[in-house]
Amino acid sequence: NAGVTQTPKFRILKIGQSMTLQCTQDMNHNYMYWYRQDPGMGLKLIYYSVGAGITDKGEVPNGYNVSRSTTEDFPLRLELAAPSQTSVYFCASSYDRARNTEAFFGQGTRLTVV
């Protein structure tokens, strides 16, 4: 089973560039999440989705956008990259609401903005 797949694994962006972080899950999960992990800071929720066509902001949404056109895919878009967006990004999914079940995480995308 592939689970949650994130691409790319590593990326270096220049300030002001844009990119999309891809996330795909093959478990038919309705709930999907994007987190960022900064050193020593735990994980902070950027956006989440409770199903295709539905997205909502998390704790730190500024500078990011998401879409959820299918159950499987939940891409995260960075517009006008800034050094503050240097981080490790994790996509996760769960079949039920976060409170009811475990979340499955991808292996992360390490992004550096220079």
Q: Which of 43, 60, 78, 81 touches another protein (CB under 8 A)?
A: 43
| Strand intervals (E) in the chain | 4-7, 10-13, 19-25, 31-37, 43-51, 54-57, 64-66, 76-78, 87-94, 104-105, 109-113
Answer for which of 24, 34, 48, 85 binds another protein (CB under 8 A) is 48
The rounded distance, in Å, linking the Cα atoms of 48 and 18 is: 20
Among 29, 33, 68, 111, binds another protein (CB under 8 A): 33
State which of positions 50-69 bind another protein (CB under 8 A).
50, 56, 58-59
* CA neighbor of 94 nearest in space, from 86, 81, 104: 104
**Taking the complex as a whole, how short is the minimal distance between the CB of residue 56 and another protein, in angstroms?**
8
Which one, 50 or 82, has the nearer CB to another protein? 50
Question: Which residue of 92, 93, 111, 113 would you call a contact of another protein, by CB under 8 A?
Answer: 92
CA distance 36 to 24: 17
- The closest of 82, 66, 88, 90 to 10, measured between CA atoms, is 88
Considering only 23, 66, 90, 111, the residue that binds another protein (CB under 8 A) is 90
State both tokens at 108: 């992360």
* Footprint of another protein (CB under 8 A): 31, 33, 35, 40-45, 48, 50, 56, 58-59, 88, 90, 92, 97-108
